[in-house]
C-alpha cells in the first residue's frame, strides 16, 4: 500500500468519514507496533463502520498486507 485513494473516497463518502479513515490509516501504518496489533486496538475504539471494515480485513487476511513503513515527516 502506498496511500489512500482520496479522489475515489470523495465521490463516495462525506468529509467526516474520510477524516476518520485518514486518521485510522495513519494510526495503522505509522505505528511502531505491528499492523495486526494496531488493527485490534483500533477496531475496538472506532465507531466508524468503514474503519471497522478496514481493521477486520487486516485481521482476517491470510496473505498479509505489503507496505513500506515511513517516518511521520515523509508523508
What's the length of the chain? Answer: 75
Q: Where are the domains of the chain?
A: 6-65
Cβ neighbours around 21 below 10 Å, total = 20
Instruction: Provide the whole-model pTM.
Output: 0.74
* Residues in CB range of 20: below 8 A, 6 or more apart: 46, 48, 50, 51
CB 20 within 8 A of CB 48: yes
Cβ neighbours around 70 below 10 Å, total = 11
Superfamily of domain 6-65: Udp N-acetylglucosamine O-acyltransferase, C-terminal domain (1.20.1180.10)
Q: pLDDT digits over 6-62, tens only?
A: 888 899 999 999 999 999 998 888 877 788 899 999 999 999 999 999 999 999 988
Amino acid at each position: 500500500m502506498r496511500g489512500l485513494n482520496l479522489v475515489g473516497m470523495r465521490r463516495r463518502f462525506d468529509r467526516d468519514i474520510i477524516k476518520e479513515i485518514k486518521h485510522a490509516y495513519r494510526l495503522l501504518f505509522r505505528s511502531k507496533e505491528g499492523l495486526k496489533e494496531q488493527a485490534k486496538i483500533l477496531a475496538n475504539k472506532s465507531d466508524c463502520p468503514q474503519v471497522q471494515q478496514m481493521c477486520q480485513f487486516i485481521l482476517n487476511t491470510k496473505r498479509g498486507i505489503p507496505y513500506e513503513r515511513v517516518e511521520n515527516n515523509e508523508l
